[in-house]
Structure 1
């Protein structure tokens, strides 16, 4: 029984790492789509601290949301192991948990995109991404605050989904 529990834990860890890396990649990719006129990697390579702050905030935001989804996935895998990992019920529980995690990541990315779009409209006369290219740390901190705040709110929604599906 202890070996089975350890094996389930290792499987959960592997799945969590894979999904976290994929989620971070997707988040960075989507950020690149939002900032069409900016070469993110070039800005980071030249040491643009402002840009680094915003990218770090996106990674933290996605991690916050993914953590909630991973918790739901862990609960799902535990339930599935009790039902039989390869049984129809066990696979269904795992499938629902994975869908919940994916939904959480999608919600986070969409919410961050919408929040940044609204921020851009609210701050007329201030072009955030142009300011980031100039290295404006104050604007970066403003954007980072919005991104992390949205993630914390979305995290509550993912926890709610976990409770509803559990």
Structure 2
């Protein structure tokens, strides 16, 4: 989640999200909440795969070198899914900025445009849901 907030601050050129939230800016709060939820979705797929892998190891009754390697691959996959989620959010924000060149999206959100924040938040969550579905399928096919 911290990486997502750092990515947002980097993308926005030092946008003071915590300061805006402290002032009660609901639009910024919605945007940051969508980033946090968006990062959590692919992480959930990775955590599910880790638990399923550990469950299969427990079912077999022994921890072998092969099962240890299995868990390591799943943990690496979890890290990749989180990186992909952060990258997807970055890409979604970049696309929004390019598509809506006539409107400064971040300025609108900074000034409290809740409608704009809802549109951007829904786009971020949609992209992260797609990433989560992809990783769920990948984890199921490769690791389970």
TM-score, normalised to structure 2, is 0.92
Aligned-pair CA distance for 1:83 = 6.0
Q: Which residue of 2 aligns with 1:16?
A: none
Structure 2's unaligned 5+ residue stretches are none
Aligned-pair CA distance for 1:156 = 1.2
Higher relative contact order (CA 8 A, sep 6+): 2
Structure 1, residues 86-124: CA drift from partner, whole Å, max 9, x if none? x31121011011011111111111111111111111112
Q: Which residue of 2 aligns with 1:158?
A: 135
Asked if residue 84 in structure 1 is aligned to residue 62 in structure 2, the reply is yes
SS in 2 for 1:36: coil
Structure 1's unaligned 5+ residue stretches are 1-23
TM-score, normalised to structure 1, is 0.80
| Correspondent of 2:117 among 131, 137, 140 | 140
| Correspondent of 1:107 among 65, 84, 88 | 84
For 1:84 and 1:100, how far apart are their aligned partners in 2? 23
Following superposition of structure 1 onto structure 2, how do residues 16-27 of structure 1 map, counting pairs within 5 Å?
24-27=1-4
Asked if residue 67 in structure 1 is aligned to residue 44 in structure 2, the reply is yes
Change (3 A) 1:162 1:83: farther
Runs of 4+ aligned structure 1 residues displaced above 4 Å come to none
Q: Which residue of 2 aligns with 1:130?
A: 107
Asked if residue 40 in structure 1 is aligned to residue 25 in structure 2, the reply is no
- What RMSD in Å do the two structures reach over aligned CA positions? 1.3
Question: Aligned pairs, how many?
Answer: 142
Structure 1, residues 121-153: CA drift from partner, whole Å, max 9, x if none? 111211111111111111101100100100111
